[in-house]
Amino acid sequence: MTQSRFAKKTKYQPNISRYLALCGRNYINILRWLPQISFKGDIWQIQGEYGRLNVRLLEDTPYTQVINISRNINVNPLSLEKMNRVNSSELLAIPHISVRIFHDAQLAEVLTSQQISQLRPVYDYPNVEMHHEDEKYRVNAFLEELLKIGGLIKTVC
């Protein structure tokens, strides 16, 4: 009997230790600029060598916090006028991510990202939404890249 061209694909198994290590790195990156004292609704900006992040505290409890992070993209208005008066939001999709910070476990995990309101641990593939099997890991890896705004970080209120 010959081997089938369409061998059954093995089911995706998330690597939990790799995922927790990623969430731990995100927590450390966030702690670099997270204020010690903050209140629900507070808004601040983080300025780095490679950009600026807008941060809003959505929820504050003794052991967790939920923040919304978005990238501040400054587009020169004169260059927009040259591009037939196109709105900057049409040119660039500004990333928005909600993150739960677990201070007791020292982890930061993405709750929502762009159009995904709740991330599942694993997605069947293929699927109608076109999510990757490891979408949750990829979104948290994107957060890690988003937090890399440079070495010189200062909080701008």
Against a cut of 0.85, is the pTM above it?
A: no
Q: What angle do CA 45, 90, 66 make, to 5 degrees?
A: 35
Beta bridge partners of 68: 56, 98
Residue 134 token pair: 């490891």
38-86: pLDDT as tens digits = 999 999 999 888 888 999 999 999 999 999 999 886 654 444 454 455 5
Q: What is the per-residue DSSP string for 111-155? A: EEETTBSS--S---SS-TT---TTHHHHHHHHHHHHT---S--EE
Pairwise CA distance, residues 98 & 66, whole Å = 7
5-43: pLDDT as tens digits = 666 667 767 788 999 999 999 999 999 989 988 999 999
Confidence of residue 138 (pLDDT cuts 50, 70, 90): confident
83-134: pLDDT as tens digits = 455 555 556 677 889 999 999 999 999 998 766 666 656 656 665 665 556 6
Q: For residue 61, what are the contacts with CB-CB under 8 A and spacing of at least 6?
A: none
Name the maximum alpha-carbon separation found in the chain: 70
